[in-house]
């Protein structure tokens, strides 16, 4: 449930873990545990603080935004692959037809330079299309390199925007859990603290838009 969505891998390996889903899962599990723990200790179902609900919403929103970005990238990649593949399949026949026309053209044919130029253009286009196809990422989800590595890394390795979200999530989680065990109550984070989490999540989504789809 915490892994990135995408087409299943053909080699049977597990896909990468999702930072957005991890953050959402952390706050869901923690708040459910806190609610049940407080009930077990006090015998009362105290209302969940507004700040805690907003924190859960930030985690869910980050996960939803990340999933939407990944879906858009995969859809665009599949569309590009279909278009480039179709063009690549048609170009060899076009090149062959032009070569046949050039071979059969009589010496001094005024159309010969144009045919040769069209042949050169088609050959160059075939190289370009082949190169573009090679750059299109696979639709299947990337292979996992380990839980922490997946959460903190993009195609360039460990990235600061991912580290920022992961770090602040752990800090807020540690504060939340410590207060739960000390006072048997859920922390009601203030607007400034929630804004910090919101900024971290927004920064992560902004940089994720620029990440290449694995």
Residue at 5 is within a domain? no
Tell me how many domains the chain contains: 1
Q: CA–CA separation, 171 vs 177, rounded Å?
A: 10
pTM score over 0.75: no
Does residue 177 form part of some domain? yes
Share of the chain above pLDDT 90, in %: 16
Res 72: pLDDT: 76
Q: Per residue in 177-209, pLDDT tens?
A: 999 999 888 988 888 888 988 888 888 888 877
Residue 67 included in any domain: yes
Any domain includes 174: yes
| Of the ranges 4-8, 32-36, 62-66, 74-78, the best mean pLDDT one | 32-36
38 inside domain: yes
* 129 within a domain of the structure (yes/no): no
Instruction: Write the pLDDT tens digit of every residue in 89-136.
Output: 888 898 998 888 888 888 778 888 888 888 899 889 888 888 877 766
Query: In this predicted structure, what is the pLDDT of residue 76?
Result: 67
User: Does residue 213 lie within any of the structural domains?
Assistant: no
Q: Would 103 be classed as within a structural domain?
A: no
**Where in the sequence is the domain holding 187, given as residue range(s)?**
19-84+140-208
């Amino acid at each position: 449930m915490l892994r990135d969505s995408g087409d299943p891998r053909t080699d049977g390996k597990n896909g990468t873990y999702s930072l957005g889903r991890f953050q959402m899962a952390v706050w869901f599990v923690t708040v459910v545990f806190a609610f049940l723990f407080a009930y077990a200790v006090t015998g009362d179902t105290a209302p969940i603080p507004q700040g805690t609900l907003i924190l859960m919403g930030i985690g869910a929103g980050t996960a939803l935004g990340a999933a939407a970005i990944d879906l858009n990238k995969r859809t665009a990649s599949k569309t590009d692959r279909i278009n480039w593949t179709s063009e690549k399949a048609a170009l060899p026949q076009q090149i062959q037809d032009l070569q046949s026309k050039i071979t059969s053209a009589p010496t001094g044919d005024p159309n010969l330079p144009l045919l040769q130029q069209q042949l050169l253009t088609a050959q160059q286009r075939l190289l370009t299309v082949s190169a573009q196809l090679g750059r299109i990422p696979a639709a299947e989800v990337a292979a996992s390199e380990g839980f922490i590595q997946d959460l903190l890394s993009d195609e360039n390795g460990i990235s600061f925007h991912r580290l920022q979200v992961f770090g602040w999530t752990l800090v807020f989680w540690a504060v939340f859990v410590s207060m739960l065990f000390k006072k048997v109550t859920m922390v009601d984070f203030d607007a400034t603290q929630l804004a910090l989490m919101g900024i971290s999540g927004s920064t992560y989504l902004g940089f994720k838009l620029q990440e290449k789809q694995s």
